[in-house]
Amino acid sequence: MKAEPQQPKGRGSVTERLDAAIEATSLAERASPIAPAKIVFGSVGTLLALIKVCFLHLCTDLLQAYT
């Protein structure tokens, strides 16, 4: 039986998923012909970018606290 590759855990996988979600909302914003949808996708993309920055800042603080 062949072993399944393990998904990386920790900060890398979270930031990769956030990057993918930010890119997806950006594409949806550009592709949408409806103005309210563009506003929603833009707002969600901005919120995801804020979450990413806060997450990275929190990880940095935690690493400094435990080293």
Q: Is residue 50 situated within a structural domain? A: yes
> Could you give the percent of the chain with pLDDT greater than 70?
82
**Residue 38 near residue 27 (C-beta atoms within 8 A):** no
6 domain-assigned? no
Domain range for 34: 15-66
Residue in the block written with tokens 């979450």: 51
The Cα–Cα gap between 42 and 40 comes to 5
- With residue 34 as reference, give the H or E element that holds it: none
pTM: 0.73
Which has more pLDDT, 24 or 10? 24
User: Would residue 5 count as lying in a domain?
Assistant: no
Q: Indicate the pLDDT class of residue 9, thresholds 50, 70 and 90.
A: low
CA neighbor of 55 nearest in space, from 26, 13, 24: 13
**9: in domain:** no
Residue 46 lies in a domain: yes
